[in-house]
Amino acid sequence: MESIPKIPVAQWVSDATELTTETFGFLFDFIKNDFGDFIEIVAEDWLMGIPVWLFIAIVGVLAFFVSGKKFGLTAFSVIGLWFIHNQELWEELMNTFTLVVFASLICVIAGIPLGIWMSKNRTVEKIFTPVLDFMQTMPAFVYLIPAVAFFSIGMVPGVFASVIFATPPTVRFTNLGIRQVSHELIEASDSFGTTGVQKLFKVQLPMAKKTIMAGINQTVMLALSMVVIASMIGAKGLGQTVITGLQRAEVGTGFVAGLGIVILAIIIDRFTQNLNTQRGEQ
Amino acid sequence: MPVIQVENLSKIFGKNAKKATKYLDEGQTKEEILEKTGNTVGVNRASFDVEEGEIFVIMGLSGSGKSTLVRLINRLIEPTEGSVLIDGEDLAKMDSRSLREVRRQKLSMVFQKFGLFPHRTVLENTEFGLEVQGIDKSERKKKAEESLELVGLGGYIHQFPGQLSGGMQQRVGLARALANDPEVLLMDEAFSALDPLIRKEMQDELLDLQETMKKTILFITHDLDEALRIGDRIALMKDGRIVQIGTPEEILVNPANEYVEKFVEDVDRSKVLTAENIMKRPETVDVEKHGPRSALERMRKEGLSTIYVTDSRRNLHGYVTADDVSEAARQDVKDLKGILRTDVPQIQGSTPMQEIFDIIHDAPVPVAVIDEGKLKGIIVRGAVIAALAGNEVNLHGIDS
C-alpha cells in the first residue's frame, strides 16, 4: 500500500480548471460582463424601481388568486414583505430574489430537456444518474472555487454555483414523471399512431406535469439555500447580511436577515406548490 | 379477401429468440422452451383470418397469450416471426411511418382499463386520434361529438374521465376508437373491468352498434360466456397456441380436444344452443297421399302416439292422434282432414333453447320447428334434457 505514491487528483482538477479558464476565457468574460450587467439591470433598475407598496400589493393580489382565493397566503406575503422592508433589507431581498429566479430559470431550461432525454434512453439515464448524485452530494462550497476561477466574484459565479447545485431535482423528477406514465396510456397513444414528439407533448409531459413541478419546487428551494453560500463570493443579497452578522458576531443582524430568507422561501414555495395542479384531477 | 390475415405469428420474450424459434418449429412446448432457453413463448405460430364485418373473438385464460396476440396485430409488440396482413399489407415488415399511417387509418384499439387520458376531457379524449392525424379543430370536434352521441355520452363531453363511472369511461374508450372510423376495432378485454350487469349492457350495445357499423372486430376475452354471446367465430388459445377456431356452436358441440371440452363443460348451453341443434327428423304422413289406415300403420311401426301431417311440399297442416286415427280407420274414413288437429306448438329454428323450456312443458305433442310454414323438425322433451347434459347434438340441423 505504502509503495503507491499519492495520486495527484487535486493537481489534475486544478490543471483542468485552469485549462478551461484559459480556453473558454472569452466565453466566460462575455457571460460575466453581459449576463452580469443584465442581472444587475433586472435587480436594481427593474425590481428596485417598483415602489415597495406596489410590489407588496402585486404579490398580495397574486397570492390571493394563486392560493384559490384564500387569505392565509395573502396575509403572510403582505406582512412578511412589509417586515423585510421595515428591517431595511428591501434591496438585499430584491438581489436575492433575482439570483434565485435566474438560477432557477437556467436549471429548468437545462434540466427538463435533460430529464426528457434520460427518460427516453436507458444509457443516458445510466450515465447521468451518478453525475446527478455527485452534483447534489458534493459540498456546495466546493462549487465556489471554479465559479470564482471562471467568473471572478459577484452575482454571475453565484448563479453558476447555484445552478450546479440546484439542477438535479428538476432532471430527476422530469425523468421519473415521464417514466411513471402508465404503460397502458403509452400503448393507447401508440395505438393511435402518435409520433414520438406527439406522444411527448400530448401525453407524457402533461401526465408528468405534477411530478416535474415538484422537482422545480425543489430546485427553487435549493437555489435559495445557495444564496448564503454564494454571498461568500460576493453575490449580493440577504446572504451577505448573514455573513456580515457572522463576521462581526452580531447575532441580531444575522437572525433578521435569516428570517428574511425564510419568509422569501415560504412565499416562493407556496406559490410554486399552488401552481402545481393537474387538469382532470378530483 | 379477409381484412386481417395472420400467418404463423409468434412472439418469444427474452434473449436468444432465434434459438427458441427453432425449438418452436420443432414443435416443443412452452415449458420445454422455457427450461432450455429461459425464454417465454408469448404466442406460438398463430394463424387465422378475420373476414370483413365479423366479430372474431380470441378467448383464453390469463397467460394464454391472447393480449400479446392482439398487440402483435397493431405491433405494439414486435413479432418475432410470422406476418400480419391488414388489407393484404404486411404490418410486421412495415417501416415506422407506414405503421403509424395504418394505426391512424385502419386500426383502433379499446383497452381493458380504458386507457383514457386523465388530463383530457371526454371530448378531448375522443378527439385524440383525429388530433394526431392533424385534422382541423372544428371537424374533429364534429366527428368526436357524433361518435360520443353514438355511445350515448352526448351530455358528458366536458367532464373528465375521473368523474365518470367505469361503464361510461369504457364508452368513451369505444367512442375514441370509433371517431377515427377505422376498418378494424381491436378490443382487448374491453368489458372485463366492468361489473356483470354493465358488462352485459355493453355487450348488447356493441352488438347493436355492429348491426349498423359492420366493423371488423377482434375481441379479446377470458370470459367464455362473453365469447359465445358476441362472437361470430371464436379462437380458443392455450399456452400461446390457438387450439380451436370455430363458431360458438362448433366449439360447444365439437370440442377439438380435451382442453376445449373441459373448458366448455360448465357453459350454460341453454343460452347458446338453438332449436335447430336439438331437433329431430320428424315422422310425417302426407295429407294428400295417406289415409287413416296407412297413418295408423306408420304410427304402430314407429311407436308413436301422435304424428305430424304435411303435404308433399312439407307444409305443416297439423297432427293426428293414434286414438282419432284408429277410430277413423274403423269407420272407414278415407282421408285425415276430418281428424286433423291444429293446436300445434310451433317455434323457429333459431329459437334459443332457453325459450323452448316453457313451450315444451305445456305442449301435448312434440314441438314443431317451422321455417316459412314448412316443417323442419320436431323437438321431444328427452332431446332438451340430453342437450343440457352435454350429449351429442346436431350442429347444422338435420338434413331433410
- What Rg value do the Cα atoms of chain A yield, rounded? 22
- Kindly report the backbone phi and psi dihedral angles of residue B180, in degrees, each rounded to the nearest multiple of 5, phi listed first: -75, -10
Q: What pLDDT shows up at residue A2?
A: 75
Arithmetic mean of pLDDT, B8-35 = 84
Which A residues in the span 141-200 are in contact with B, Cβ-Cβ below 8 Å?
A: 184-185, 187-188, 190-195, 198
Which pLDDT band, with edges at 50, 70 and 90, does A175 fall under? very high
Arithmetic mean of pLDDT, A5-13 = 91
Distance from CA of A189 to the nearest CA of B (A): 9
A-chain CB neighbours of B133 within 8 Å are 193
Arithmetic mean of pLDDT, A165-194 = 95
Q: What pLDDT shows up at residue B335?
A: 80
Q: How many domains does chain B have?
A: 2
Is there a contact between B219 and B231 (Cβ–Cβ < 8 Å)?
Answer: yes
Pick the more confident residue, A276 or B125.
Answer: B125
Choose one of B237, B267, B297: the last residue of a domain. Answer: B267
CATH number at residue B295: 3.10.580.10
Residues B20 and B82 in one domain: yes
Arithmetic mean of pLDDT, B283-298 = 85
A191/B128 Cβ within 8 A: no
Of the CA atoms within 13 Å of residue A185, those in its CB half-sphere come to 20
Cell numbers linked to A188: 393507447
- Kindly report the backbone phi and psi dihedral angles of residue A192, in degrees, each rounded to the nearest multiple of 5, phi listed first: -95, 5
Q: Flag whether pLDDT at B141 surpasses 70.
A: yes
Phi-psi region of B115 (alpha: psi -120 to 50; beta: other; left: phi over 0): left
Residues B285 and B261 in one domain: no
Q: Which of B31, B55, B377 lies closest to B215, judged by CA?
A: B55
Q: Flag whether pLDDT at B100 surpasses 80.
A: yes
Q: Which residue of B has its CA nearest to A206?
A: B119
A279/B120 Cβ within 8 A: yes
CA A231 vs CA A236, A258, A272, B394: distances in Å: 6, 13, 25, 93
Selected residue of A182, A190, A192 to mutate for chain B interface (largest B Cβ count, 10 A): A192
| Structural domain includes residue B356 | yes
End-to-end CA distance of chain B: 33
Q: What pLDDT shows up at residue B399?
A: 43
A280/B118 Cβ within 8 A: yes
Q: What pLDDT shows up at residue A60?
A: 93
Which pLDDT band, with edges at 50, 70 and 90, does B393 fall under? low
**What digits encode the pLDDT tens for the residues A225-264?**
988 889 999 888 999 999 999 999 999 999 999 999 999 9
| Structural domain includes residue B306 | yes
B161/A191 Cβ within 8 A: no
Q: Flag whether pLDDT at B392 surpasses 60.
A: no
Q: Does A206 touch chain B (CB under 8 A)?
A: yes
Q: What pLDDT shows up at residue B29?
A: 81
Domain parsing of chain A, residue ranges: 9-49+87-274
Distance from CA of A213 to the nearest CA of B (A): 15
Which pLDDT band, with edges at 50, 70 and 90, does B356 fall under? confident
CATH number at residue B232: 3.40.50.300
B133/A207 Cβ within 8 A: no
A-chain CB neighbours of B131 within 8 Å are 202
Q: What pLDDT shows up at residue B391?
A: 63
CA B369 vs CA B315, B319, B388: distances in Å: 12, 13, 19
Q: Flag whether pLDDT at B83 surpasses 90.
A: yes
Distance from CA of A199 to the nearest CA of B (A): 9
Q: What pLDDT shows up at residue B400?
A: 38
Q: Which residue of B has its CA nearest to A208?
A: B119
CATH architecture of the domain formed by A9-49+87-274: Orthogonal Bundle (1.10)
- Kindly report the backbone phi and psi dihedral angles of residue B85, in degrees, each rounded to the nearest multiple of 5, phi listed first: -100, 120
Alpha-carbon span A71 to A202, nearest angstrom: 35
Distance from CA of A234 to the nearest CA of B (A): 45
B100/A195 Cβ within 8 A: yes
Q: Flag whether pLDDT at B268 surpasses 80.
A: no
Buried b (16+ CB within 10 A) or exposed e, A237-252: bbbbbbbebeeeeeee
Q: Which residue of A has its CA nearest to B158?
A: A280
| Structural domain includes residue B345 | yes
Tell me what the pLDDT averaged over chain B comes to: 87
**What digits encode the pLDDT tens for the residues B321-333?**
888 888 888 888 8
Alpha-carbon span A78 to A267, nearest angstrom: 10
Q: In B86-186, where does DSSP find H-type helix?
A: 96-105, 122-133, 137-150, 166-179
| Structural domain includes residue B299 | yes
A192/B108 Cβ within 8 A: yes
Q: Which residue of A has its CA nearest to B99?
A: A193
Residues B240 and B287 in one domain: no
Arithmetic mean of pLDDT, B176-180 = 94
| Structural domain includes residue B296 | yes
Q: Read off the pTM.
A: 0.79
Selected residue of B117, B125, B170, B172 to mutate for chain A interface (largest A Cβ count, 10 A): B117
Residues B280 and B363 in one domain: yes
Residue range(s) defining the domain that contains residue B256: 4-106+182-267
Task: Choose the weakest-confidence range: A76-85, B141-150, B244-253.
Answer: B244-253
B118/A193 Cβ within 8 A: no
Q: What pLDDT shows up at residue B292?
A: 86
Q: Which of A48, A57, A166 lies closest to A102, judged by CA?
A: A166
**What digits encode the pLDDT tens for the residues A104-118?**
999 999 999 999 999
Percent above pLDDT 90 for chain B = 42
Alpha-carbon span A220 to A216, nearest angstrom: 6
Distance from CA of A218 to the nearest CA of B (A): 24
In the DSSP assignment, the letter for residue B238 is E
Residues B211 and B97 in one domain: yes
Tell me what the pLDDT averaged over chain A comes to: 91
Arithmetic mean of pLDDT, A81-100 = 93
Alpha-carbon span A277 to A275, nearest angstrom: 6
In the DSSP assignment, the letter for residue B91 is G
Residues B259 and B352 in one domain: no
Residues B241 and B343 in one domain: no
**Going along chain B, which residue ranges are E strands?**
4-13, 40-50, 55-60, 81-86, 89-90, 107-110, 184-188, 216-221, 233-238, 241-246, 284-286, 306-310, 316-321, 346-347, 367-371, 374-379
Distance from CA of A5 to the nearest CA of B (A): 46
CA B109 vs CA A17, A213, B99, B325: distances in Å: 56, 32, 14, 65
Arithmetic mean of pLDDT, A47-74 = 91
Selected residue of A191, A194, A212, A279 to mutate for chain B interface (largest B Cβ count, 10 A): A191
Residues composing chain A? 282
Angle at B142 between CA B136 and CA B146, to 5 degrees: 145
A-chain CB neighbours of B107 within 8 Å are 191
Q: Closest partner residue to B129 among A187, A192, A279, by Cβ? A: A192
- Residue B46 C-alpha from the chain's centroid: 19
Q: What pLDDT shows up at residue B283?
A: 83
Percent above pLDDT 70 for chain B = 97
List of long-range contacts for B353-357, beta carbons under 8 Å, 24+ apart: B353/B269, B353/B270, B353/B271, B353/B272, B353/B273, B353/B274, B353/B275, B353/B277, B353/B278, B353/B384, B353/B387, B353/B388, B354/B270, B354/B271, B356/B275, B356/B278, B356/B384, B357/B270, B357/B384
Buried b (16+ CB within 10 A) or exposed e, B29-62: ebeebeeebebbbbbbbbebbbeeebbbbbbbee
Percent above pLDDT 70 for chain A = 99
Arithmetic mean of pLDDT, A4-20 = 90
Arithmetic mean of pLDDT, B167-172 = 93
Q: Which residue of A has its CA nearest to B159?
A: A280
Q: What pLDDT shows up at residue A115?
A: 96
| Dihedral over alpha carbons A81, A82, A88, A89 (to 10 degrees) | 0
Q: What pLDDT shows up at residue B394?
A: 60
- Kindly report the backbone phi and psi dihedral angles of residue B272, in degrees, each rounded to the nearest multiple of 5, phi listed first: -105, -45
Choose one of B267, B284, B311: the last residue of a domain. Answer: B267
**What digits encode the pLDDT tens for the residues A125-137?**
999 999 999 998 8
Choose one of B246, B267, B288: the last residue of a domain. Answer: B267
Q: What pLDDT shows up at residue B395?
A: 54
DSSP assignments along A104-158, one per residue: HHHHHHHHHHHHHHHHH-HHHHHHHHHHHHHHHHS-GGGGHHHHHHHH-SSHHHH
Arithmetic mean of pLDDT, B72-92 = 93
| Structural domain includes residue B117 | no
Q: Flag whether pLDDT at A282 surpasses 60.
A: no
Q: Flag whether pLDDT at B16 surpasses 90.
A: no
Q: Which residue of B has its CA nearest to A191?
A: B103
> Residue B90 is which amino acid?
D
Which pLDDT band, with edges at 50, 70 and 90, does B40 fall under? confident
Is there a contact between B140 and B130 (Cβ–Cβ < 8 Å)?
Answer: yes
Q: What pLDDT shows up at residue A28?
A: 87
Q: Closest partner residue to A191 among B109, B113, B120, by Cβ? A: B109
Is there a contact between B307 and B353 (Cβ–Cβ < 8 Å)?
Answer: no
Alpha-carbon span B381 to B55, nearest angstrom: 34
Distance from CA of A105 to the nearest CA of B (A): 26
- What Rg value do the Cα atoms of chain B yield, rounded? 27
